[in-house]
Amino acid sequence: MQEFNGLKVIEEFEAITKDAETFQRETLKKILTENGSAEYLQSLGLNGRTDPESYKACVPIVTYKDLEPYIQRIAGGDTSPILTGKPIKTMSVSSGTTEGKPKLVPFSDKFIETVIQIHKTSFAFRNREFPVGINGKSLEFTYKSKKSKTKGGLDVATVTTNIATSSQYKISMKPIQSLCCSPKEVIFGPDFSQSLYCHLLCGLIFRDEIQFISSTFAHNIVLAFQTFEQVWEELCYDIRTGVLSSRITVLDVRSAMTKLMIRPNPELADLIYKKCKGLSKSWYGLIPEVFPNVKYIYGVMTGSMEHYLKKLKHYAGEVPLVSSNYGASEGWIGANIKPKLPPELVTYVVFPRIGYFEFLPVSDKTESKAVCLTQVKVGEEYEVVVTNVLGLYRYRIGDVVKVMGFHNSSPELKFVRRRNLILNINIDKNTEKDLQLAVEEAAKLLVEERLEVVDYTSLVEWSSAEAGHYVIFWELNGEGSEEVLGECCNRLDKYFADIGYVISRKVNTIGALELRIVRGGTFKKILEHFVASGGSASQFKTPRCVGPENNKVLQILNSNAVKSYFSTAYQ
């Protein structure tokens, strides 16, 4: 930690955000100058101009669908300047859980520079509030995917893998990255379950040195400690004997872990065993009990990750939860500089130097003009439009944010929802946030039975004989009574308050909502399918709506369905 000058990083950020407009104009000028020869920009008649006014007049606001033909040409091996001035040699692949299918996104060293800026900035603010000692370590549930090739021979991997394997990133972030307690062989291990087990074992071996716990998404932290509940006795046995479990069969992972387990440690095993035995009835406060010096837990905790906060708080006890930065596979947007705020209140300050940002007002039903970074109004909701170094110009990332205030002259954003509808049959318009709120409300009925919703998703099911209807899948942590689950189904139906849905239900143009209960472990099977298909567990997000393109996921859900209930709320 001695090599990292957090104070200097904070001072630089403060200077940049005090003059956000100037840095925005300079950033746009730099992007357009470096990529002015690109076919895409040439075709739009910019003619070398780099000012925001000319840029907005010439370049349209677009979605991924608009840019996909250009991206496919790059992936196919075309090395001419298509979207960027210099050839793209690497591609990132998104998780695919938001839009239903993975997206290819250009990746470059220029992008790494922006990643380094925002990661150093957020760490500086975190470390100021929760200082990590010189010998402190982190328990990071991180998993990197294998790289593959596009048809044109370009390297392709998840964005997290591309970042982690970049030599530029490794050198610049070495003071921070060296905190991780797990060997790189575990992080890059080909078997997710084996890597997860080894992460937990590493954490226990270094339990007194662990000062923060992290993962890309809150879901992975919850999954890790749900797994811990099942394997803690085996982990204790490994520590007691100094011999790694036979479940670890990947040779380089086994070799790296064996080097850590140089001798039996029965004292440590006894200590952990005693603590876990005392916790095993509820596992409340598991994290601080097992890791006594942990200062915070870090990861994405907004949007679709909000569902996991209740369980994460249960494991965390009094340990603060810190939501990480705001971004997407297409690029970073803002940093969390107030790490002590709970996830429900977290805001992100837009970093004016890592891209050019515009905002489309959501309140205006027409295709209103986008406003620039410093023109947004507090209290208003906007859709984020990004121009970045990857060749994405005036690109709608699909997120709706609310402006909560300003830090100096740069806005503080609160993530609200994804823009796209996920449940739509007739005139109904329900978003991912609407589904989340309905699930939260219905799940309140489970409290008396000491049950909780482990995970959930949805689909629109059509029938030639009947009107289409919503299907909600729930995985529970136990068995619920018929009466309570039937009432949960009714409450789900009634809590979709969109007027189009209510009217459609009343006149039967949308059928009765169906609640399907699936076996325990079903959503982990979906994660395993995602990883087996080449994805990284670090980048996995449960799809909140399963469309026809997710046929395999639908097969997993339906083959594991054990009960079904239909709403009577509108009878």
The answer to whether residues 252 and 212 touch, using CB atoms and an 8 Å cutoff, is no
Identify whether residues 414 and 426 lie together within a single domain: no
**195 and 288 co-located in one domain:** yes
Q: Which of 352, 383, 418 is the last residue of a domain?
A: 418
Identify which of 332, 360, 359 has the alpha carbon closest to the alpha carbon of residue 348: 332
**pLDDT of the residue at 17:** 96
Is the CB of residue 351 less than 8 Å from the CB of residue 333?
yes
Question: Is there a single domain that holds both residue 404 and residue 470?
Answer: no
- Same domain? For 202 and 265 the reply is yes
Quick one: 407 and 457 in the same domain?
no
Do residues 219 and 542 touch, judged by C-beta distance below 8 A? yes
pLDDT of residue 364: 59
End-to-end CA distance of the chain: 64
pLDDT at 1: 43
Q: Which pLDDT value is given to residue 84? A: 93
Task: Note whether 308 and 218 are within 8 A (CB).
Answer: yes
Q: Which residues contact 549 (CB under 8 A, 6 or more apart)?
A: 100, 101
Write down the H helix ranges in 59-158.
64-75, 109-129
- 202 and 293 in a single domain? The answer is yes
Which range of residues forms the domain containing residue 44?
6-110+325-418
Q: Angle CA(132)–CA(323)–CA(297) in degrees, nearest 5?
A: 45
pLDDT at 339: 95
| Unique residue bearing structure tokens 């078997």 | 191
Its pTM surpasses 0.75: yes
In a domain, 174, yes or no: no
Please tell me the predicted confidence (pLDDT) of residue 47: 87
Is residue 125 helix, strand or coil? helix
Query: Is 118 among the domain residues?
Result: no
What is the pLDDT at residue 100?
A: 53
Q: Are residues 458 and 403 in the same domain?
A: no
d(CA 322, CA 221) in angstroms, rounded, equals: 13
Each residue's pLDDT, cut to its tens digit, for the chain (571 residues) gives 446 788 999 999 999 999 999 999 999 999 999 999 999 999 998 888 999 999 999 999 999 999 999 999 999 999 999 999 999 999 888 766 555 567 889 998 888 888 889 989 999 999 999 988 777 899 999 988 777 888 888 888 888 888 888 888 777 777 666 688 999 999 989 899 999 999 999 999 999 999 999 999 999 999 999 999 999 999 999 999 999 999 999 999 999 999 999 899 999 999 999 999 988 889 999 999 999 999 999 999 998 899 999 999 999 999 999 999 998 878 889 999 999 999 999 999 999 999 999 999 987 555 568 999 999 999 999 999 999 999 999 999 989 999 999 999 999 999 998 887 788 888 888 988 899 999 999 999 999 889 999 999 999 988 756 788 999 999 999 999 999 999 999 999 999 988 889 998 998 889 999 999 999 999 999 998 888 877 778 888 898 998 877 888 999 999 999 999 999 988 8
Same domain, yes or no: 403 and 453: no
> What does the pLDDT read at residue 365?
56
Residues 245 and 348 in one domain: no
**CA pair distance 306, 432, nearest whole angstrom:** 11
pLDDT of residue 311: 95
Cβ atoms 396, 385 nearer than 8 A:
yes
CB contact at 8 A, 395 and 62 = yes
Structure tokens of 207?
Answer: 């339990």
